Each structure stands twice: as structure tokens, then as C-alpha cells.
Amino acid sequence: MNRAFPLHRAPVGFGPAPAVRRLAALHRLDERARELLDRAVERRRLFPARREVVREGQPVDGPLLILSGWAARVRHLHDGRRQLLSFLLPGDLIGNCRQRSAVSVSTVVTLTEAATCAAPPASASPALAEAYALSAAAEEAQLLQQIARLGRMSAEERLLDLLLEFRERLDQAGLAAPDGFALPLTQETLADATGLTSVHVNRMLQQLRRQGDIVLKGSGLTLRDVKHLCDRVGRAVVGG
Amino acid sequence: MNRAFPLHRAPVGFGPAPAVRRLAALHRLDERARELLDRAVERRRLFPARREVVREGQPVDGPLLILSGWAARVRHLHDGRRQLLSFLLPGDLIGNCRQRSAVSVSTVVTLTEAATCAAPPASASPALAEAYALSAAAEEAQLLQQIARLGRMSAEERLLDLLLEFRERLDQAGLAAPDGFALPLTQETLADATGLTSVHVNRMLQQLRRQGDIVLKGSGLTLRDVKHLCDRVGRAVVGG
DNA sequence: CGTGCGATTGAGTTGGTTCAAGGCCAGTGG
DNA sequence: CCACTGGCCTTGAACCAACTCAATCGCACG
């Protein structure tokens, strides 16, 4: 599973860490903000894949920042069914926006091995505060899109739309090429995110491949015509 | 359509306005907070049913408070499919939590005739600020639940869970009896919320009636055994 | 007495699931 | 060096929950 140079941790061009890059993409970060981040990043905490980072209903002492790897907010139904609520990528915050509530509203699990650190307090930098606010807004937009996906899209559309969301978000962190990125998820995980079965995810991915919409090589995903694919699911073409 | 005394606007026991009652249910409101609300409520604005209150991408000048009636956040897909993202009931806020973004992230439409007013600024009262924060947290929890519903529940479960959410929320505003409430929605609207077709919503409601789970008389809904129904969908039993 | 919206019903279809059996491959231990 | 194991991906066949299409009913309203 560990290759010498995991694709999903390899910045396309080197430069600031992906998490910093993503926050800077949301709002211009001044020296102070970057310094705070650099300092916070030193106290990183590593998690193996499939580990719970925070559990629903448990107290949390402050927002966390994802530095590397993929994680997800997840909800479990009483009978074992599982639904991924949203994905957390480098530069995303866990437990942003709910200021005083000391309790997590959802469980967060890592999907790959991942690193986090405590997010520097917004109060220490206006630029950072602004980036956090925009991050919270983006997160809400993603939740709304997830609802529209699950409620009204076909299986093929759900997958396409989700992949396009990944591209857009990874691009902010400098983790995507214009037409592709590393997708270190199992089909089972994609199924839990799209409300499908892994069997059907498999068939839909095959269909997308046959149609020439995507190319999958190992964990490397290429989108063959981003603009056209965005049109197909009614999504704004962004970045890349 | 207008009866002399619409059920959904009739407080079960009289007292403070439903919106105030709901905010007070979230956090104890002091005199100052109540006074601010009373003053804001005087400048109410009325909307007929099926009217857009704010449109996605349009500027908004500040958060609104729902005083009466039902509204919903909605998303339209490019080909006309429609998905309700969340419901807005008396005491709910529109455009809370996204402090500086002057642009709405989703369209809001009234489902019944409804009244709103500008929400008094949180900065004017700590108690109010706290209530707003808890309202935002509740709203997020509802979005997450909506995702779980659409992704992993059967048609029957989706409807039951949604009805139980309505009961819990209307109860906070004093608009629900322990076992029922007025449900002024068309089956088409329920379909847009649950990701189903109106035909199937109809059949599922009939099934719930046949099973003795619910009673529907006009717009009056009775839930026959709330505790048991909550268990069936894995939902915490609250209020009532 | 129409008119129109919403609820209801029936019959046929289909998108997605379920169940079950391989296949592929990286890691492990002999 | 190879056999064995465990994840994950892939495939086939049968099934079913939910959809589509289309007609009818009921009722409030003008």
C-alpha cells in the first residue's frame, strides 16, 4: 500500500504544504497567518488509515486542520448501514464554525493515512479568520451539493459529480493536475459516499471508462474532458 | 386553502410567538433579547406560498427570522429536477452563520404563506448570539441527517424520519401536540425533500396509514407511537 | 358548472440491489 | 522461491424497490 512516493501526497509543483496552499487559495494569507500555520504544523499528529479521529458526541478541544491524507465525516445507522457525509482533504478544518459547542456533531474517520494538527486560533489573525470563514462556507456548499447528488442524481451522475468535486478541491491544495489526481479510495468508500452499493459503483466506473470519460490506472484518475463532464452534471467549471 | 384558523399557525397553548418560543427553547432568553425580538417582529414581511424569498447567488443584507409558515432551501438541477435541502420553520434563521458572505448559498422558497423579519443582530445580545449559534448547530445536524436519509434509508424510513424531525422541531416552537401537528405540504413537496416521486410518496403514506403508524386527516398528522417510530428509524426520542 | 390542482390507482418498466463466485495482487511466512 | 492469505475488484443472474406513464377522482374556488 505504501509506495515510495504516494501520489496523493505529492504536490504537483513543490511549494507550500498542501494545507497552507488550500487556505491561501481561499483568502490571501499574510506573513503572520503563514507563521502561525508553520508553527502549528510542527505539532502534527499522524493517523493510520481507517482510524477514528473524533467520535460523534465526544468532546473536542478545538478545530483541527488536515495536513495530508483523506478523511471523512461519517454517520452510522442503527443497523450498520454507513453514509459518508463529506470528505475532508488537506487544508480542510474539522470542527470549524461550531464555536462553543464542545461536542462533535459527527464522527470523523481517516480513509488513508493522514496527518492533522490543531488549527491556529482565528482570533490570532484576521486573514486566517477570513480563510476559516470561507472554508466553512465552502463546507456548507459541499453538504448542500451532497444532498442534491443523493436526492436527485443517477448513479453515474453521482460519481461524476463527486469526482469533479474532488478535482476542484484537490486543485486548491495543489494536489491535482488540470485533468486528474490520485484517488486513494476503495469502491466501497465511494459507495458509502454516493449512497450506492460497491458492486454498482464498480459497474458505473466501468461504464465511465468505456465511454472514455475517465481513465483509472491504479489510484491515478484522469478526467478526459473536464468542461464537458461539468456540463453533463450541471456543475460550474472551476480551476485547473 | 385559507381556513379561518390555519392549523399550522395555531399555537397549541397560547403564549409567546412561535419563533420566539423556539429560540427560547434553544437558549434561555433574557429581557433584552425578548425586547429586541419583539421590536424586530413588528417589521414583519409577508410572503404568499411558493414565493422565492432569496435566490442563490443573490446578495442578502442580513439574516432573516421565520415568524410563521413553512419555507425551504431548494436546489434546482440544470434539467429541472428539484431537491429540497432543508425545511425552514418558525424560529429558524435564513443566512445565519455565514457572517460576511453577502451572497446566499441557496435559494429559499416559501411552501405556505409565511412571514419573516430581519433577525436582530447577535452583537446586541449575548443570549441571542448563543441562541443563534445553537440554531446554526441544529441546522447543520439537520443537513447531515438529510444526507443520511437520502443516502441510506428506504422510502418508508425517509418519510418517517422526516415526519419525526418535523414533530421535534415544531414542538420547540409550540406548534406540535405530543403526537401530531399540522403538515401543510403537498406530496409533491415531500417527494422533492425525500428524493422520491410524488406517486411513491403517496403509496408510502398509504402504507404507513394501513400499518397504523400515522393518521392523516386533511393537513392534520398524528403519529401513533412516537417512541416506537423513533426506534424504527434509529432516531433519538426528543421532546413532546 | 367548469377549471385546476392535488391525491389516488393500475400496469408495465428499470435502475440499482443482492447473492455468490471468481480473479488479481501485495504482503507474509515457510 | 513459492504457497497462502486477505483485501479489493470484477462478473453473472435473479430480484425488487422505486419510477414512468396515464387515467381517474375529489374538492375548493371562481
Measure B107 CA to nearest chain A CA, in Å. Answer: 11
Which pLDDT score is estimated for B14?
54
CB contact under 8 A, A133 and B75: no
In sequence order, which residues have a C-beta less than 8 Å from that of residue A123 and are 6 or more positions away?
Answer: A129
Rounded to the nearest angstrom, the minimum Cα separation between A42 and chain B is 30
State the pLDDT at residue B101: 64
List strand C contacts in A 192-231 (CB < 7 A).
195-197, 199-200, 203
Of A9-23, B11-25, B118-132, B177-191, the poorest mean pLDDT is in A9-23
pLDDT of residue B99: 62
Distance between CA atoms of residues A210 and A219, nearest Å: 18
Q: Between residues 167 and 196 of chain B, which touch chain A (CB distance below 8 Å)? A: 194-195
Q: Distance (Å, rounded) from C-alpha B146 to C-alpha B133?
A: 20
Ranges of residues in chain A whose predicted pLDDT is under 50: 1-13
Looking at the predicted structure, is the pLDDT value of residue B69 above 90?
A: yes
**Residue A174, C-beta contacts closer than 8 angstroms, at least 6 positions apart:** A11, A12, A13, A15, A16, A18, A21, A22
pLDDT at A98: 64
Residue B189 has pLDDT above 70, yes or no: yes
Residue B11 has pLDDT above 50, yes or no: no
CB nearest A105 (choices: B82, B141, B153):
B141
Query: What is this structure's pTM?
Result: 0.94
Does residue B8 surpass a pLDDT of 70?
no
Q: Which three cell numbers stand for residue B13?
A: 397553548
pLDDT classification of B15: cutoffs 50, 70, 90 = low
Mutant choice from A79, A94, A147, A149 vs B, greatest count of B C-beta within 10 A = A147
Q: How far apart are CA B167 and CA B178, in angstroms?
A: 8
Residues 6+ apart with CB under 8 A from A206: none
Å separating the CA of residue A216 from the C1' of nucleotide C22: 22
Pairing of strands B180-182, B176-177: antiparallel
As a dihedral over the C-alpha atoms of residue B34, residue B39, residue B40, residue B41, rounded to 10 degrees, the angle is: 90
CA B231 to chain centre: 22
CA dihedral angle for residue B66, residue B68, residue B69, residue B70, rounded to 10 degrees: 30
CA separation, residue B173 to residues A145, B30, B225 (Å): 29, 17, 21
Determine if strand C comes within 7 Å of the CB of B205.
yes
Per-residue model confidence (pLDDT) at position B103: 85
Reply yes or no on whether the pLDDT at B12 is more than 90.
no
Question: Comparing C-alpha atoms, which of A176, A192, A172, A180 is closest to residue A217?
Answer: A180
User: Does A152 contact B at CB distance below 8 Å?
Assistant: yes
Whether A79 contacts chain B with CB within 8 A: yes
Backbone dihedral angles phi then psi of residue A184, each to the nearest 5 degrees: -90, 40
Please report the pLDDT score of residue A240 as a whole number: 76
C-alpha cell at A205: 466506473
- Report how far residue A232's alpha carbon sits from residue A161's, in angstroms, rounded to the nearest whole number: 9
Long-range Cβ contact pairs of A231-235 (< 8 A, separation 24 or more): A232/A157, A232/A160, A233/A153, A233/A157, A233/A160, A233/A161, A233/A164, A234/B77, A234/B78, A234/B79, A235/A161, A235/A164
pLDDT digits (tens, 9 = 90+) for B96-130: 876 666 788 899 999 999 999 999 999 999 999 99
| pLDDT of the residue at A97 | 73
- Nearest Cβ partner of A151 from B83, B105, B140? B83
Helix axes B126-152, A126-152, angle to 10 degrees: 30
Question: Each residue of B219-235: pLDDT tens digit?
Answer: 999 999 999 999 999 99
